[in-house]
Amino acid sequence: MKTIILKTGTKLGEVMDFLPNGIIDKQETGIGATTLEATCQRNSIIVEPTRAIVEDKSKIHSCLGFMGGVTEDKVLEYLENHKGQHRKIFVVSDSVSRLINILVNAGEGVHNDYFYFVDEMEQYITEASYRESMGIALDYYEIFPADQRAMVSAYVYNS
């Protein structure tokens, strides 16, 4: 396990170009993990626990925000308009299955060509008992190759 300790006020993007794979215990909020993934040079599926976060972050970073009400045509249009560019898709946990099915059907090599990033993992743990789809978003984490996935949490459970 690798440990990186940031000086107070330092953002992850100031010390690395990509989020590392694995589970990231950020210990405090506002270190720029989501921003780093939204701006790094690779394709990313960024899973958020709520619609409000997807709407906000996708606007801030000029990325596709995918949730209920967003059509397959909108995804296909985004893919077409971003050919040859790094694609960034923010998705609410409830819509991960639908998004991945659309990407696979569009011929995207999802599991090898996209980095799967689960943000705010602590919310998945606390809400999974009454929001089944949050558990499904974590199931997809296991499907992605170990070097193509990361989770970030304000607290990590030690077993």
- pLDDT, one tens digit per residue, over 121-135 is 766 666 655 566 677
Asked if residue 121 lies in contact with residue 153, where contact means CB atoms within 8 angstroms, the answer is yes
pLDDT band at 138 (very low <50, low <70, confident <90, very high): confident
Over residues 130-153, mean pLDDT: 83
**What pTM, to 2 d.p., does this model score?**
0.86
30 within 8 A of 56, measured Cβ to Cβ: no
pLDDT of residue 153: 79
Q: What is the CA 155 to chain-centroid distance, rounded? A: 17
Most confidently modeled range among 106-120, 128-142, 145-159: 106-120
Sheet with 88-92, strands from edge to edge, namely 22-25, 149-153, 115-118, 44-48, 88-92, 64-66
Residues 6+ apart with CB under 8 A from 103: 75, 79, 110, 114
- Average pLDDT of the chain is 85
Residue 108: predicted pLDDT:
94
Q: What percent of the chain has pLDDT over 90?
A: 53
